[in-house]
Structure 1
Amino acid sequence: MTTHTRLTFHGPLSSARADAIVGRLSANRPRTVLDIGCGWGELLLRVLEAVPEARGTGIDLDESDLARGRRAAEERGLAGRAGFLAESARDTAHGPADLVLCVGASQSLSDADCPTAEALRSLRGLVADGGRVLLGEGIWERTPTSAELAGMWPGAATSDHLTLPALLDLAVASGFRPEWTETATLPEWDHFESAYQADQEVWLAAHPDATEVRDRLDRHRAQWMSYRGILGMAYLTLVPVQR
């Protein structure tokens, strides 16, 4: 069974928003790009296409995603400038870089239940002065009720995420200034969640006795319906304050 073939990005990010983000980031002409928790590295590859002099490194622990990234780099003529490495982001030796991407991957930099603060401290050490960090971070659009939390992921708590104002304050306290702030729209979330399961849903329709797959899909859909419109995603372009 193939999965995730309808996903361009592993998160609620439209191609139009991604192109606008890449346009802003590429204007700074980064020479080195580091993608933390890169997955298949679509955003990294788009930056490299926009900045021909740049070289990029994506690090992740998922070998299947990394293999997809390497194939895409080869197909787009970027294999000589893009590396996809299977390694932990903790204590990575690949910084400082002119541009650091960390989109939905702050947990790669911290074991904390809410990893944002530690991740921001690590990101400040991974970006060069004059560079940029793109942080994609889950936020609460509003405080969820106890009943709503009970329907989300196991052990979901209000402390799992910050609000957008609190996230911005934390970024500033961690040594950054926010150059650009934006949040995912509900249509972007719906596209992502639908595409995340679409391949498996079509397969299940042809294999209705696959109870394990059906239970997993139904469980995820119920969780999505519990956090839909409550869990958001912020995309912050951050400038490091020079030390």
Structure 2
Amino acid sequence: MVFHSPMTEQRGDRIAADLAAAGPASVADYACGWGELLLRILALVPQARGYGVDLSGRDLARGRANAAARGLADRVEFVEGRAGDHRRPADVVINCGAWQIFGTTAAEALAVLRPLVNPGGRLFFGIEYWETVPPPERLAHMWDNVTADRCELLPDLADHAVAAGFRPLRIETSTRSEWEDYESLETADSEEWLLANPGHPDAADVREHLDRKRSIWLRGHRDFFGFAMLTLGVPG
């Protein structure tokens, strides 16, 4: 898995190019994982410095290794910790798939993120949404205790961004193919392990987890749960 979100490399490269076009001097990625989008922007802007924060030491180690392999290690800092405790304003800010670290609603998160974007800067904001609100019988097959207010509709998310002081430069959503790649790749290593170790003491638990996850996807959120990617600007 290249990005820990449902997007192709082609889309990721185009987003990185869009964010790099203004020539940012600083790029911050909150809940960065291994910071793939962050590193692609830095590769396009030689004068920029990057900063990524995440709770996963394993993901950060992958990010540091990728940075070293691409000759970017001296221009990026990866910090293990809670993003809310390590805030630094930047010209480009990334918060993709982890808005909850900044608020209990998307509107709250966007309001917190707004001061972290320098004048004239950009926010890349990735967030789940309902393509259409699912009926109760589909909600019943999703995550435990999920309700219809788990997500919002795309127009409402755009309105929240405007209310927080941003202007939407681009609004795009993941395709079905991107979702299928994401869901399949997220479990591929575990499925391969299960095939190779059917008699392992942990096999039954792994099998149950994978079957549950697949059911949530195919019987639950498929065709209802979307992923939006908003490129947002602030005044200069």
Does 2:25 align with 1:31? yes
Report the 3-state secondary structure (helix = DSSP H, G, I; strand = E; otherwise coil) of the residue aligned with 2:84.
coil
**Unmatched 5+ residue regions in structure 1?**
1-6
Any idea what the Cα deviations from partners look like across 1:165-214, whole Å, max 9, x if unmatched?
01001110111110111110000000011000011101101222310111
* Alignment RMSD (CA, Å): 1.0
Structure 1 residue aligned with 2:66: 72
- 2-structure distance, mates of 1:168, 1:185: 19
Does 2:156 align with 1:163? no
**Unmatched 5+ residue regions in structure 2?**
none
- 1-structure distance, mates of 2:82, 2:190: 29
Does 2:9 align with 1:15? yes
Any idea what the Cα deviations from partners look like across 1:40-86, whole Å, max 9, x if unmatched?
00000000001111000000111111111111111111110111101
Deviation at 1:93, TM superposition (A): 3.5
Answer whether contact 2:139 2:146 (CA < 8 A) is retained: yes
The structure with the greater share of residues assigned to helix is: 2
> Taking structure 2 as the reference length, what is the TM-score of the superposition?
0.96
Structure 2 residue aligned with 1:3: none
Structure 1 residue aligned with 2:167: 177
- 2-structure distance, mates of 1:231, 1:127: 28
Answer whether contact 2:53 2:86 (CA < 8 A) is retained: no
Does 2:108 align with 1:118? yes
Does 2:45 align with 1:51? yes
Q: Which amino acid is 1:27 matched to? A: A
Does 2:147 align with 1:153? no
Answer whether contact 2:161 2:167 (CA < 8 A) is retained: yes
Report the 3-state secondary structure (helix = DSSP H, G, I; strand = E; otherwise coil) of the residue aligned with 1:90.
helix
> Taking structure 1 as the reference length, what is the TM-score of the superposition?
0.93
Report the 3-state secondary structure (helix = DSSP H, G, I; strand = E; otherwise coil) of the residue aligned with 1:80.
helix
Structure 2 residue aligned with 1:213: 206
Report the 3-state secondary structure (helix = DSSP H, G, I; strand = E; otherwise coil) of the residue aligned with 2:73.
coil
Any idea what the Cα deviations from partners look like across 1:98-121, whole Å, max 9, x if unmatched?
0000110101212x2xx3111101
Percent of aligned positions that are identical: 47
